[in-house]
Each structure stands twice: as structure tokens, then as C-alpha cells.
A and B are shown apart, each in its own frame.
Chain A
Amino acid sequence: MAAGGERPSGGARSFPPDLADSAGLWEEVVVEAPELLEGGPVEEVLGRLDRELVALHEVKRRLRELAALLLVGRLRRRLGLETASPTLHMCFTGNPGTGKTTVAMRMGELLYELGYVRKGHLVVASREDLVGQYVGHTAPRTREVLRRAMGGVLFIDEAYNIYRLDNERDYGQEAVELLLQTMESERGNLVVILAGYRDRMERFFSDVPGLGSRIAHHVDFPDYSLGELMAIARLMTREHRYRLSEEAEAALREHLRRRMRRPGFANGRSVRNALDRARMRQAVRIYEAVRRGRRLTAGDLFTIAGEDVEGRGLERGGARGGRGR
């Protein structure tokens, strides 16, 4: 566009290659940005994230930053200032049960609202889904998963398991190569989120050259504190339309405090499991009480009492072992 000609309009897609020459001219062009105002769908997804997830302040802050970047990117793109689609592949690190999958799901919704993916669904995959059993089995399998995830988010849990450095004949190598290639070529169609423990993920990145550089956003999910775990428990009971009695809350706090120090503690997932077991104990308690001729009230049905929460049974539960309990 010739300088000094007619005034450029907001919708113009013809910016001069060197913006510095005509910067003054563009200062007067007003751009409509309804997305940035309150009440948009993006705001709604972020709000839901805030409400549904306890703590994780750092994660939420990162997501807000990303949303802002993408929103402004979209405005710039509308004006023709930005052409290439940004790299959105992410890496979520953290211990089990810290909310990685949930955030990935919200991520899909967020990217869909922002118009960076066409569908925004979440496909969860792990090594078994990607790596084949014999020669020539891996590529079709991996490709199939990638196809299903197209237009949405591919969430690879414990991504480092795909690649086994100690076995050079492992087919994981092939899956990783295909994944890398697709992450590069389908940047605009597919967002890959790799998740897992932090230290093992870092080793994975150093083992596979070219992977780290294709991932733009690293988000770390910290463990929850006891207070945060209790907040999660309250949120979950409310969701299931139960109420924790005061003794139940105290018993649960004590139970979690002890569980937290044990190996295999899975943060939010452990809370959910503890509550699931409490619900079952409550049901058994009510069932037996009614058969013994006790009168049942509506309050009984939604109250979890102190005796329902696993406390003394911990030793028994511990002996049975099992991860994620």
C-alpha cells in the first residue's frame, strides 16, 4: 500500500513488509476485538477451570497467558499480520492425580473456542496404543491414533514409555519418529500433549533429540497440600451430592495425612478413591441399619459419617498394596 494514499482500513490484509515505515499510519486504525471483552466463550472455559480445579495456581496462570497469546494472535491473523500457525504442543509434568488429564481436556475446549483446533476432543493414548508387537505393526497403529486425534488434542500419558533406550530393537523408536514428523507437519491440525513424571520426562527429552524443541509449553503440576486435598474432597462430595459430617471430615483429613507420606499416593485420584470407598461403606451401613429396623431419613442418604471414612482400615488397605489407592 502506497504511503500517503488512502487510509488503511481495519480489515485490510495488505500490510507493507516493513511496518516501521508506516507505523504512524496504523496507529489510527481501530480494530474491533469482541473476544477480549468479558463474557466470551474463552472466559467461560477459563472460569470453569478455576471453579473445577483446586489450587494449581501456576497452571491456571500459564493457561491464561496462553489464552491471551492465542486471542491476540487470532486478532493479528485476522489483519494478516500472522500467517504461520503457532506451535501448541505441550508437556505436562507432575505426579499422578495432579490434574494433568483434566487440564488437557480443558485445553482442548479452550483451543476449540479460540479456533486453533477444529474439534477440540481429547484422545488419550499410551505406549500400548502406539507401539506395535512386530515389524510393520507400529506405523499403522501410530497413524491410526494420530488420525483419530486429528482436529483435537492427543494426550500421551507417560510418554517416556514409548521409547526404550536400553533396547535398540524396540519398535518405540518408530512411533517416536512418526510422532515427531506429525507434530511438525500437522502443527495446525493437531496438538500433542506429553505427560508424565518430571524427571523421567526430562530424561526422555534428552534421549530423543528434536522432541524438546518441538514443544513450546512446559507446565509443571505440583503436588497438592493437605488443605488443597480437603478442598478437592469437598468439591467432589458436593458434585456427587453428598455431605461430609464433621467427624467424617476430620477422619478423612487424618487418613489423607497418613496416605500422603506413603508411596503410590496419587493426589486427587487417591481422594476420589477414598471417597468412593466411603460411599460404599455408607451404603452398607445404611443397608444394615435398615434391616435391623432403624428408621431411615433423607439426611442419612446424603451424609457420610465419620465411621464411613477409612481410617483404622488403612493397614489392611496398605497390605493389599496397589498403586493409586
Chain B
Amino acid sequence: METREPSRPGGGQGLRITQGTFSYLPDLSDEQILAQIQYGLDRGWAVSIEFTDDPHPRNVYWEMWGMPMFDLRDAMAALREVQRCREALPDHYVRVSLYDPGLTRQTTALQFIVNRPPHEPGFRLEREEGHDRVVRYTLHAYAADRPRGERYRGDGRG
């Protein structure tokens, strides 16, 4: 099984997105992803794969890569889909969600990023002068300046 080189936390310039579980750790290797998915499958959770190239922290609804995968027994099947997604969208964020359908929970139980663009330029803080000397602050992702699908493409440094 091929394994991916884990990137250094906070490596390079820019800002490393942290969203979901494990995002403060170095990127998971395929072997670790496999083990995490298997953990969920062994508990009867359903796997789905999502992607986006909008890094805004409020962007929680990502695009789905195919249908959610129910009835899986072996995590390798899900990992293969992750790999297919990565190959098709190398400059996107990709995450795995594990949904717990248990009666008392019925929600996403575990969600983690499995792919990120080679270079994440980060955010700038924008100030807006309002009336009465009110100043509003907002985050602006540098990547969001470019149209969808091209946000992280051909970054030069990637």
C-alpha cells in the first residue's frame, strides 16, 4: 500500500486549515486513514467523502464525492474512493465523514481531512469602517479571489 508523505504542521507559508478531527496533527497517512475508517465501520457508521476548494471556516457543507457508502465491511473500499477523489481533485480539500445512525446519536461521529491543496495561502483580515466609528472585521481567503475549481490550481509553489 502506498503511503503519503505527511506534511509538517504549519509547514510552508500560509495558513494550514484546521477543520474536523486530527487537523492539528500532521496529515494522516493512508494507513492511518484506513484504520480510522475501519474503526467507524466496525461500529456500523456510514462513510461519505466530501470535497471543496472554499477554505472559509463557515463553509461546512461541502460537495459530495459520490453517494454515501453504506454496507461497507472493509475500509479499503472507502480508501480507494478517497484515492480516486484525490486523483481527480488534487488541489481541493477532501474529507471523510463517518455518520453514526444510532438512535441516540444520528449525526456525524467523526470527520477528518484526508487531502489538502499543496499550498494554502491563508487569509487576510479585512477592516470595514462603519458608521459611528464602528469597525467590522472579516476574514478573506486569498484562494477565494479565484473562481471555483481554480482556487488552488497552478499556484506556482504547489
Contact = CB atoms under 8 A, between A and B. Distances in A.
A binds B: yes
Interface of A: 118-119, 121, 140, 144, 146-148, 150-152, 186, 189
B31 interface: no
Contacts, number: 35
B66 interface: yes
B47 to A, nearest CB: 10
Q: Which are the 8 A-B pairs with shortest beta-carbon distances?
A: A151-B74, A150-B77, A147-B77, A150-B74, A119-B73, A189-B76, A148-B71, A119-B74
Range class of the B interface residue count: 10 to 19
A293 to B, nearest CB: 51
Contacts of B74: 118-119, 150-152, 189
B72 interface: yes
Contacts of B77: 146-148, 150-151
B75 to A, nearest CB: 8
Contacts of B81: 147
Q: Chain A CB within 10 Å — which of B66, B67, B73 has the most?
A: B73
B64 interface: no
7 contacts: A118-B76, A119-B74, A140-B66, A147-B78, A150-B73, A150-B77, A151-B77
A218 B76 CA distance: 27
B69 interface: yes
Contacts of B69: 147
Interface of A is mostly: loop
Contacts of A119: 73-74
A148 B73 CA distance: 7
A151 B71 contact: no
Contacts of A118: 74, 76
Contacts of A148: 71-73, 77
A189 B72 CA distance: 13
A132 to B, nearest CB: 14
Contact of A151 (B66, B67, B76): B76
Contacts of B67: 140, 144
Choose among A147, A150, A152, A189 the residue with the greatest number of B CB atoms under 10 Å from its CB: A147
A146 B80 CA distance: 11
Contacts of A146: 77
Contacts of B78: 147
Nearest to A121: B73
